[in-house]
Amino acid sequence: KQLQEINTMSKDEETLIKDALSKEDVNEEVKEAKSEIDAAEDDDEGVTGDFEVTKEEMSIIRAELACEFPEDYTYLSDAYVKSVASKPYSKDPSIRRPIEYTMEKLTHVMEWREEVGAPEMETLIHLVNGSEYSDEAKENPEKLVKAKLLAVSLNNASLYWHGFTKEGKPVLWIRCGRKSWYPNVEAEVNALILIADAGIKCMPEGVTDFVVISDSNSPPPPVPSFLINVLKALVRGYPDRLNMLLTAPVGSIIQFVMNLLMPLMPGRLAGKFLLKDMDNATEIMKDMLMNGEEDIPTFLGGTADHDQYYPDEYYAKNQGEGSLKFDYFGMIERLKEQAKIWEEKFGTKEEAEE
């Protein structure tokens, strides 16, 4: 039903989509992705209900994670671990998930993080923000190349955190018109992982998921490989993290993207995607964002000026001695400050829900 709001496809858009499909063996990639996503998907993802998890049980889970993943175990907050452990067991919803089952689910997330190199992403930012003639850069030429590609993906400021919802969920903004037409897929996925992790670390106490709002004006040609890899990252690396994705307006390229991804999505994830026209999107943002209408950005018809923090790359200045122009560290500081403001305004997560 959401896709009924699609604009008529122009000849230029039709050409872009045909080119995207012809440049890649999309059918084979979709088939492989479907198999991987199905293997990662659990029957009980997204189930509701909470059972008690004792301090002793939390200590056991924490100790096992620290033992298995000593460099990265703190990534999972107590609130997230508890949210996973407290859910009903799919084989018998009258009881809580066994600790062993919870550990298996959390281990899958952590193994994926190791597989894609998630724990090292922030070290790449520090590297590319410094001089390429530093000892670290000269001693790690391959790492420097990876860091530079990551900076290229970040510098267009098409993806960043800014603000919270009334429920304390951080908001990830996507500005499709700033996306590259010819992206490096690996670097784009790495940028998404880096940004996602930064926002998760800044969540107020008790909050475990986030909201995405996408400005879909003038999107670039679709790159199926990138889209499929983003979906796999959501399913394998960030289960139950996405609360909602709102995108507006909905044009032909967005229709193509959703038609490609929907058959691959677990049902629980597909239901979190809201494709709206601008009027409906504005009403949703008014109700959802922490300060209501005043938090709607200028590029979506509001008054909040994001460009003062995240300008177009042409106007951005280098942050340090390296090639990073995107204000990554400023984004984190602002998000922390905004989290404090939310806590002062709404109190705890439980109080906000009330």
Q: Give 68-121 as a DSSP string.
A: H-TTTGGGS-HHHHHHHHTSEETTEEEEEPPHHHHHHHHHHHHHHHHHHTGGGH
* CA distance to 10, 166, 289, 337, per residue, from 304 (Å): 31, 17, 12, 17
Position 285 scores a pLDDT of 98
Q: Which residue has the higher pLDDT, 18 or 134?
A: 134
Supply the pTM of this predicted model. 0.88
Residues 285 and 248: their CA atoms lie apart, in Å, by 11
Average of pLDDT values for 144-157?
97
State both tokens at 95.
Answer: 């009881």
If we measure between CA atoms, which residue out of 112, 106, 111, 51 comes closest to residue 234? 112
Residues 171 and 194: their CA atoms lie apart, in Å, by 15
Residue range 32-88, pLDDT digits in tens:
777 777 776 665 555 566 899 999 999 999 999 999 999 999 999 999 999 999 989
Residues 31 and 156: their CA atoms lie apart, in Å, by 32
Q: How many helices (H) and strands (E) does the chain have?
A: 15, 7
Position 14 scores a pLDDT of 56
On the question of pLDDT at 25 being above 50, the answer is yes
Residues 40 and 234: their CA atoms lie apart, in Å, by 11
* CA distance to 71, 124, 141, 152, per residue, from 144 (Å): 21, 7, 5, 12
